[in-house]
Amino acid sequence: MLEVRALEVGYGAGRRIVNGVDLRVEAGEMVTVIGQNGAGKSTLLKGIFNIAPFRSGDVVLDGASVFALPAPKLILAGLAYVPQNRSLFPKLTVAENLRLGGFLLRDRGLLERRLDELQTLFPILAERRRDYAASLSGGEQRLLEIARTLIMVPKLVMLDEPSIGLAPRMVDLVFATARKLAERGAAVLMVEQNVKKALQASDRGYVLELGRVQITDRAAALIDDARVGSLYMGQRVESDPRADLTS
């Protein structure tokens, strides 16, 4: 589904943040990228979505390179991106925000059918469809952002820190929603700091340090990895305390 090949991303001369990352996500799979602040996780997603100033390498979706496509054409190609910062229109209703997710669709009948499908998938949004987006809780706003991307029926959904600032109940709901997307056949690539919950919902994970992939494994194996537990889940390491992710 998605292959990222030797991707480098930066913000100008001397500001290379992502350094030669290789990554893949299959259809029906949920993959989480973890790492400390400044590791390059969010920059990685921006590089994949072609909204970073400097990029090199390749991004392949369903066997075709989409590296050079601008963001609107990436959406049409099947790549969706929910950024870390809120991207809703607060003075528009839930229904109006959802409808804007289909601004590239010319078939109005198709848009209406997809809106109806989303009301079934997100009943909490259907109940509040006439409310302004600004009146939603943080978790409901995040669900609305995810739902809005689904209007275009993406092959791959990228989520940047979807749980940030949310109450525990809404964190669980957001992760369950991402898991449901994978079970419905989409590929899901998530960057997340709530490491244990994210990995529990995922199939595989990547550990990013200083812009490079240091570990990749099944999510369950990463949860049990002493180094990952020590650095990202606050667990005590019983093995050699000098061990690090590059050893």
Q: Are strands 30-34 and 64-65 parallel, antiparallel or unpaired?
A: unpaired
For position 13, what pLDDT does the model report? Answer: 65
For position 18, what pLDDT does the model report? Answer: 96
For position 14, what pLDDT does the model report? Answer: 66
Closest CA to 83 of 59, 114, 49, 122: 49
Let me know if residue 182 belongs to a domain.
yes
Let me know if residue 198 belongs to a domain.
yes
Number of structural domains in the chain = 1
Dihedral over alpha carbons 72, 78, 79, 82 (to 10 degrees): 80
Please list the ranges in the chain whose pLDDT falls under 70: 13-14, 234-247
CB proximity list for 192: less than 8 A, separation 6 or greater: 32, 33, 34, 159, 161, 162, 163, 198
Q: Residue 170 sits in which domain range?
A: 2-87+153-232
Residues in the chain, overall count: 247
CA distances from 32 to 42, 48, 97, 190, 211 (A): 12, 15, 27, 5, 15
Let me know if residue 177 belongs to a domain.
yes
CA angle (26 as vertex; 152, 168 as ends), nearest 5: 75
Let me know if residue 188 belongs to a domain.
yes
For position 118, what pLDDT does the model report? Answer: 87
For position 241, what pLDDT does the model report? Answer: 40
Dihedral over alpha carbons 220, 224, 227, 228 (to 10 degrees): 40
For position 246, what pLDDT does the model report? Answer: 45
Phi and psi angles of residue 189, each rounded to the nearest 5 degrees, phi first? -120, 120
Let me know if residue 100 belongs to a domain.
no
Q: Which two tokens stand for residue 223?
A: 């949860």
Closest CA to 192 of 212, 226, 169, 219: 219
Let me know if residue 185 belongs to a domain.
yes
For position 237, what pLDDT does the model report? Answer: 46
For position 243, what pLDDT does the model report? Answer: 45
For position 3, what pLDDT does the model report? Answer: 97
Let me know if residue 217 belongs to a domain.
yes
pTM, 2 dp = 0.87
For position 236, what pLDDT does the model report? Answer: 53
Q: Which two tokens stand for residue 27?
A: 């259809």
Closest CA to 94 of 137, 46, 41: 137
